[in-house]
Amino acid sequence: MQMRKVIVGTVLILSATAARAAWAEGMVIAALGDSLTQGYGLVQDEGFVPQLQAWLDARGVDAQVINAGVSGDTTAGGLARVAWTLTPDVDAMIVALGGNDLLRGLDPGVSRANLDGILQAAEQADVEVLLVGMDAPGNYGPEYKQAFDSIYPELADSYGTLYAPSFFEGLQMEGDDPASVRAYMQPDGIHPNAEGVALIVETLGQSVLELIAAAQSS
**Spatial separation of the C-alpha atoms in residues 91 and 61, rounded to whole Å:** 14
The secondary structure of 119-136 as a DSSP string is HHHHHHTT-EEEEEP-PP
Gap between the terminal Cα atoms of the chain = 40
* Integer Cα distance of 3 and 1 in angstroms: 5
**Which of these, 164, 202, 214, 209, lies nearest to 61 by C-alpha position?**
209
In the chain, the amino acid numbered 190 is I
Name the burial class of residue 167, with classes exposed (0-12), middle (13-18) and buried (19+) by CB atoms within 10 angstroms of its CB. buried
Phi and psi at 164, nearest 5°, equal -115, 125
Residues marked as catalytic:
35, 188, 191
* Ordered strands of the 63-69 beta sheet: 63-69, 27-33, 92-96, 128-132, 162-164
Q: Taking CA 199 as the corner, what is the angle to CA 37 and CA 136, rounded to the nearest 5 degrees?
A: 60
AA identity, residue 64? Q
